[in-house]
Amino acid sequence: MPARVAHKYLDFGLVEELPDSYAWKALDHDLPSEEAHKPNSVPIIDLDHNNAIELIGSACKTWGVFQVVNHNISKNLLDDIEYEGRKLFSLPMHQKLKAARSPDGPSGYGVPSISSFFPKLMWHEGFTISGSPLAHARQLWPEDHTRFCQTIQEYEKEMNKLAERIMWLILGSLNINKEDITWAGSKDDQFQEGSSAVLQLNSYPACPDPDRAMGLAAHTDSTIVTILHQTNNTSGLQVYREDYGWTRVPPQNGALVVNVGDLLHILTNGWCPSVLHRAVVHRTQHRLSIAYLYGPPSSARISPIPKLVDKFHPQLYRAITWGEYLGIKAKHFDKALRSVLVSDPTSESLGPNDDNC
């Protein structure tokens, strides 16, 4: 049966052969071999460990990514969010499209927002939740959306606590505490609104030609940290390290992945690299991942923490809000961080009117 393309949406379940528009060239050259024995792999950190702060600090500086166990997110909640995600993506395409993300809108069903930077399409469908999920949930399930909304709300509440805890563990490893960041101290009236976040449900359907398809192309997250739940122990996430190349992040029962995002990189004046990562797909398994994208209050201006700036470590980045950074990322993508450098000799081509990226 021919694939049905509704607007730019592919009904993946109807496709028997990888369409040319989804075939990425020479992707397999980059894939790490299963047998490759790396001297090290992405650290798994027990949050109850006495040395959790040091272990996290070291993982952030060397990898920009780690997994956490003993994180206090219940298995029930992880199972519930997976159930709701699968329920959503298994709806018929015409139903999912009722909640389609509008071209510049922050929420809804659609293709990855980074798609416009790549010549080929990704084997991926996503659902983004920014603010209340109610309006879209009503469109998807006019009769019964209560459980979906309650699960999202509960998951966001628990993830918010965990993300904040992890952020302070990371900053604690650099001797940074609440007095050092105005927007993070709850005493400051100006930032009463608290941190902001987006929940991203990622679906990677089974793919007839996984070696030539790309689930989600290489990117860094525009967050402070991202907490990723790789559901059902299905692998797919790969991270890049200069000295190792691409490395798998094997799902570990009950563990959650933490990515350092670009804003933490800015905040730590470059100490913690934001991790480049991507997702690959499977021939028979439908993979679902859930990313909690954690950022600062929307009015907070993020800049390198003064304690991390001295004459040997000059301030690398200028102050910027999360919204401003997202705008820059949407325009410059992988050159976004470079374009907020305080002084960058190569940034001429990234002037405000440059639309090349």
Ligand X SMILES: O=C(O)CCC(=O)C(=O)O
**Can you give the binding site for ligand X, defined by CB under 6 A?**
200, 202, 216, 221, 228, 230, 236-237, 277, 279, 289, 291
> Which residue is at the shortest CB distance from Fe ion?
221
Find the shortest distance in angstroms from Cβ 221 to Fe ion: 4
Distance CA 288, CA 82 (A): 8
Looking at the Cβ atoms of 57 and 236, the one nearer to ligand X is 236
For position 262 contacting Fe ion by CB under 5 A, the verdict is: no
For position 221 contacting Fe ion by CB under 5 A, the verdict is: yes
Point out which span in 48-56, 171-179, 204-212, 213-221 binds Fe ion (CB under 5 A).
Answer: 213-221
Distance CA 100, CA 157 (A): 25
For position 84 contacting Fe ion by CB under 5 A, the verdict is: no
Q: Which entry of Fe ion, ligand X, none binds 112, CB below 5 to 8 A by partner kind?
A: none
Q: Which entry of Fe ion, ligand X, none binds 202, CB below 5 to 8 A by partner kind?
A: ligand X
Distance CA 198, CA 228 (A): 12
Find the shortest distance in angstroms from Cβ 262 to ligand X: 12
Looking at the Cβ atoms of 95 and 115, the one nearer to Fe ion is 115
Query: Using alpha carbons only, what angle is made at residue 233 by residues 94 and 202, rounded to the nearest 5 degrees?
Result: 30
Point out which span in 75-83, 172-180, 215-223, 311-319 binds Fe ion (CB under 5 A).
Answer: 215-223
Query: Using alpha carbons only, what angle is made at residue 50 by residues 45 and 53, rounded to the nearest 5 degrees?
Result: 60
Looking at the Cβ atoms of 52 and 329, the one nearer to ligand X is 329
Distance CA 200, CA 134 (A): 15
Distance CA 315, CA 304 (A): 7
Q: Which entry of ligand X, Fe ion, none binds 174, CB below 5 to 8 A by partner kind?
A: none
Find the shortest distance in angstroms from Cβ 223 to ligand X: 9
Q: Which entry of ligand X, Fe ion, none binds 236, CB below 5 to 8 A by partner kind?
A: ligand X
Find the shortest distance in angstroms from Cβ 73 to ligand X: 17
Q: Which entry of Fe ion, ligand X, none binds 241, CB below 5 to 8 A by partner kind?
A: none
Q: Do 88 and 100 form a contact (C-beta atoms < 8 A)?
A: no
Question: Which of 231, 244, 242, 236 lies closest to 216, judged by CA?
Answer: 236
Q: What is the DSSP letter of 299?
A: T
Looking at the Cβ atoms of 179 and 211, the one nearer to ligand X is 211
- Computed over its alpha carbons, how large is the radius of gyration of the chain? 20
- What residue ranges in the chain does DSSP mark as E strands? 5-6, 9-10, 44-46, 65-69, 108-110, 125-129, 196-204, 216-219, 225-230, 237-241, 245-248, 256-260, 276-279, 287-295
Looking at the Cβ atoms of 107 and 315, the one nearer to Fe ion is 107
Find the shortest distance in angstroms from Cβ 229 to ligand X: 9
Exactly one of 287, 301, 318, 338 is catalytic; name it: 287
Q: What is the DSSP letter of 286?
A: P
Point out which span in 49-57, 81-89, 158-166, 220-228 binds Fe ion (CB under 5 A).
Answer: 220-228
Distance CA 5, CA 192 (A): 45
231 strand-pairing partners: none
Find the shortest distance in angstroms from Cβ 212 to ligand X: 18
Looking at the Cβ atoms of 125 and 221, the one nearer to Fe ion is 221
Active site residue 147: no
Strands 44-46 and 65-69: parallel
| Interface residues toward Fe ion, by CB under 5 A | 221
Active-site residue set: 287
